[in-house]
A and B are shown apart, each in its own frame.
Chain A
Amino acid sequence: MSKKKMIKEVRFSGSGGQGLILAGIILARAAVEDGLNVTQTQSYGPESRGGYSRADVVISNEDINYPEATNLDILLSLTQEACDKYIFDLKRDGVLICDTSHVKNISIINDNTYEVPFTEIAQKELGSEIPTNILSLAFVVKVTNIVNEKSLETAIRASVRPAFIDLNIKAMKLGFKLAKEYQL
């Protein structure tokens, strides 16, 4: 009997410098850790900070032909512009997760919409807004179960500089905790 085909298309969107591409790489690495096929692509402007930035991750148990996400299962938006630009690419039952520190207006809200002030929480609980990417990535993983939590931790450890591992693991745990609270 053949396995049922699974394909999930994920997009992390925001502005340059928020660490979204790193979050995409970590998610892709975690999916490989889970033994799945994955492609990770990105689109960003020529500037190193500011401008738009997005990372697409396609995860499947079969070969992936087209590497970019076109019909989103999961959309994470850390800025208003990104949310407005990509919300209509989301499937009808897709999961939308917005950082309400920056996203003030969401055009479609349903049961699968999560509104969390990630940046503010990171600033308050972790003392810096830098780990917002990992915080929100962990939140995404927890609410969607797209990859194993253990794999995510392995991927984070393999992807960030040694000096920042502790901070990022702390951010990951906080993300999991937040997700639990929001799911209730």
Chain B
Amino acid sequence: MTKEKATSKKTEKVEAIVEKKVTKAVIMQGNEAVAKGALAAGCDFFAGYPITPSTEVAEILSNELPKIGGTFIQMEDEIASMCAIIGASLAGAKALTATSGPGFSLMQEAIGFAKITETPTVVVNVQRMGPSTGMPTSPGQGDIMQSRWGSHGDAPAIVLYPDSVKEAFQLTIRAFNLAEKYRSCVVLLMDEVLGHMREAVTLPDLSTVRVINRIKPTVPPQWYKHYDENQKYLSPIASFGEGYRFHVTGLTHDDHGFPTNKPNEAAKMMERLNKKIKHNIRDLVQIETEHMHEAKVAVFAAGIMGRASKEAVKMARAEGLKVGLLRPLTIWPFPDDAVTKMLKDVDAVVVPELNEGQLFHELERLVRERKDGSLHRLNRNDGTVITPAEILTKIKEVYNG
């Protein structure tokens, strides 16, 4: 009897240790968090062509995917990688590819194909300093506009931009969820600094992770339309091999997927592509604000610059300056409402970026009235990050007009 008691006590102890291990902080790299997030979201297919600074995503998934019965394939280049994940997704897989600037450029045409065929796919772009091969191991934020307008033709984009290792994990899951829900190609933009950075993180329990899967058709196969929107402009999607017949083409198509030249059918297709974003903007846009309710000057920054700005805002507030921060987690669609309100509320906005001013253009677009806050750019394009002290100097410069 005493023996039994001892054993049960021991098991209890073991359980306590296991539980403790789950909640304990671990040291993790940004790219590792992306791979872990993809697995948590149910990713079971990766095709890619390894490139610094995104290589670890491919490296980890090449180890992990076979263990869960998934597929890892190293393609001959990025064009083939993007095409492979579109094919995999059409066959029902949750598919991912990861790349950096040069590869992202090659993927653009196929990203457009994923958008017009409304195929759920996720592309991770760990940005490096460009153009061209640029500086493989240095950060740059040059792909902000490319992630929006990189493909030809006027289709909207969903682009998420994390600023920490933990957020990289969360937004990877979100990228999959949005891709499945909106039947589109979702881009996760990262900074080289974040991809390679290691940080102490406590990841959430996987059982609490919310995973969204694509809507499946409920109609008999002969009634199935591959593009049959509901009131929210979202449509069910069947996978190849499930008995539903559909046609997939990059040509402008009708509801069944067959090419069409009729203006009314073309207009309907383009309307759906745009409206599924516009009508669900509240679901898509995520922002983080700090001290904006009492700010005289605001800092608007994304990704790693958002993080540097957070420190700069903290330093400014320690000196008694009324400064706030607005950081978009979704950069496309652009958080127009939040930015318009910010411009109305503050005297000046500082926009630090590791490029010549790409988010800055969007802010300029939203300045509507003369009494709106003035805009001040802070740019760097040399492969290093703007430090909080430099942002603070800029804040002080504009603080008193």
Contacts and interface: CB of A to CB of B under 8 A. Distances in A.
Interface string B23-35: 0011100000000
Contact of B200 (A25, A38, A43, A44): A38
Contacts of A65: 307-308, 310-311, 314, 388
B137 interface: yes
Contact of A43 (B26, B138, B199, B388): B138
A67 interface: yes
Interface in A30-73: 31-32, 35-46, 64-68, 70
Nearest to B199: A39
B200 A37 contact: yes
A28 interface: yes
A170 B147 CA distance: 50
B25 A32 contact: yes
A66 B137 contact: no
A68 B198 contact: no
Interface of B is mostly: mixed
B308 A66 contact: yes
Contact of B198 (A28, A35, A36, A46): A28
Interface in B210-265: none
B200 A67 contact: no
Contacts of A142: none
Contacts of A36: 200
Given A42-B196, A46-B136, A68-B193, 10 more contacts: A25-B27, A28-B198, A40-B199, A41-B193, A45-B137, A65-B310, A66-B387, A67-B193, A67-B197, A68-B385
29 contacts: A28-B200, A29-B27, A32-B27, A32-B200, A35-B25, A36-B200, A38-B199, A40-B27, A41-B193, A41-B198, A42-B196, A44-B137, A46-B137, A64-B199, A65-B307, A65-B308, A65-B311, A66-B307, A66-B308, A66-B310, A66-B387, A67-B193, A67-B199, A67-B304, A67-B307, A68-B193, A68-B387, A70-B388, A70-B389
